[in-house]
Structure 1
Amino acid sequence: MNGIPFRSLRSSAHLARRAPSATKPTFRHCNTASTPQSTTTPTTTIDLPDLSRFNKNKMPSKQINAADFPLLQTCLTDNKEWAERVSHENPGFFANSAKGQSPFLLWIGCADSRVPESVVLGRKPGEIFVHRNIANQFHHNDDSANAVLMYAVGNLGVQHVAVVGHTACGGCLAAHGAPKPDENATESSALSRFLDPLIKLRHSLPEDASIDDLIVANVKKTVKTVCESDVIQANWKKAKETGTQPVYVHGWLKDLSTGLIKDLECSEGPDF
């Protein structure tokens, strides 16, 4: 995959137990003047912040290590093996990558775990800038999405934005079966608020519209919403005035059953 190997098989190393650490950390709070007692085992002192100012009515938490969970330890082991393979097959890749990025594409996709952008496009780290959320939406009042778009276009100089939906989208499935939003409702959740425009879109379609119809309509609507954003409008205005290349916005659909991405042929650019 363009020099970056992809491996799904787990090695036998994942079954090995972690060796006990030779250095056992001791802890002290920042507001405590005591020093750790000497022991026969070398110790590392870690200063913990004073957490007494936090709301004590909240459920208390305790400090744990990700490596205490076997599945997460496997992920860390996979990462180490992957990094070693990349360094062996492409010496200097990480050193060069650390110097900066120059992605050509901003991918606005769904948070679904089955649609990892770099993997499905066969690209290397550093080639695709990413924003993912529930059902690949773009809201004008979403600071996170707008900040990503602004940075991608203004700072990184991406040339293309792809809004990428996918079949069997859980967000669209939920929106398709939801009643019209109650404008007088006083209670809501973050998820219901985020899905609200998608639910309204569903009820703007014919009554017999399928979930697949909603998925495609959502991608096409989001393409237009991105084009209407202040960031893209400013880019198009500048391109017209200076003769530079504008940003183009595209709508794609990934079929989970085949792994293939289909161009929905709804790309947009400036009219000049």
Structure 2
Amino acid sequence: MPFHAEPLRANKEIDIDLEHSVAAQKFPDIRAVLEGNRWWSRKVTEEQPEVWAEQVKGQAPNFLWIGCADSRVPEVTIMARKPGEVFVQRNVANQFQPQDDASQALLNYAIMNVGVCHVIVVGHTGCGGCIAAYDLPAPKQNEEFCDPSTPLTRFLDPIIRLKHSLPEGSDVNDLIRENVKMSVRNVVDSPTIQNAWELARKGEFRKVYVHGWLYDLSTGLLIDLNITQGPEPIVLDSDKPKVNGTA
């Protein structure tokens, strides 16, 4: 979407000199980050001098990544993408909750304004949110939340309930995969996706697809769980019927 970014105007609050940054002077780790940013900016400018002019013109990412806030799962890095190519929502345990206005608003903006074609829910091995939910007790009958005492347990409530609905003997990796599937279902059932698909079937909107993936921390690989859904059934070219030797 071509939302042009206006250049920053010089004033007393806009100063790139780290010697004038209170935080950089006080905290070595903050200074290291800001120095790293300067190095990165110079490197990109040298290798791709046109990139900043393109960035300010606007964004048109093809992907919406709904992932976990875990620091080991940086979407742009592991997808080998560049800035401007991935729209992002991250939270504890890669959840898309139907009642969450922030998630619904982001999805709607991504599809209706930004131009995203692929919504990807991505879980990962070793997910702390799922591990925590796995160990929590089942909710009592007619209890609104499994444990309403903290924001975290309230947010994990759907995963806690999911865990206690799984077959006996299911392990935490089963819960991690099922949690991805649950969020995929929630995305698919959202008003934004249902409306987009209805319009796509009438030829009035582009086709949008919803995918579920798993990131393996032990290998760095993204794994497709093969639960992709779109406005029509997904049929591979190799699966199409052949007539007289041709597809």
Task: Establish whether TM, by shorter chain, passes 0.5.
Answer: yes
Q: What's the offset of the Cα at 1:246? A: 1.8
CA RMSD of aligned residues (A): 2.0
Secondary structure of 2:206's counterpart equals coil
Q: Match for residue 31 of structure 2? A: 73
Q: Which runs of 5+ in 2 are unaligned?
A: 1-16, 234-247
Higher helix fraction: Structure 1 or Structure 2? 2
TM score, norm. by length of structure 1: 0.75
Q: Do structure 1's residue 205 and structure 2's residue 129 form an aligned pair?
A: no
Q: Match for residue 207 of structure 2? A: 246
Please show how residues 1-272 of structure 1 align to structure 2 within 5 Å. 65=23, 67-182=25-140, 183=143, 187-242=148-203, 244-271=205-232
Equivalent AA in structure 1 for residue 86 of structure 2 = I
The count of corresponding residues between Structure 1 and Structure 2 is 214
Q: Distance in 1 between matches of 2:19 and 2:151?
A: 42
Q: What's the offset of the Cα at 1:19? A: 8.1
Q: What's the offset of the Cα at 1:243? A: 5.0
Q: Which runs of 5+ in 1 are unaligned?
A: 1-17, 25-63
Q: Distance in 2 between matches of 1:235 and 1:20?
A: 50
Q: Distance in 2 between matches of 1:247 and 1:94?
A: 29
Cα–Cα, structure 1 residues 67 and 108, in superposed 2: closer, same or farther, change >3 Å?
Answer: farther
Cα–Cα, structure 1 residues 19 and 76, in superposed 2: closer, same or farther, change >3 Å?
Answer: closer
Displacement over 4 Å in runs of 4+ = 18-21, 184-187
Equivalent AA in structure 1 for residue 94 of structure 2 = N
Q: Which has the larger radius of gyration?
A: 1
Q: Match for residue 51 of structure 1? A: none
Cα–Cα, structure 1 residues 267 and 111, in superposed 2: closer, same or farther, change >3 Å?
Answer: same
Q: Distance in 2 between matches of 1:102 and 1:116?
A: 20
TM score, norm. by length of structure 2: 0.82
Q: Distance in 2 between matches of 1:241 and 1:152?
A: 21
Secondary structure of 1:207's counterpart equals coil
Q: Distance in 1 between matches of 2:133 and 2:68?
A: 14
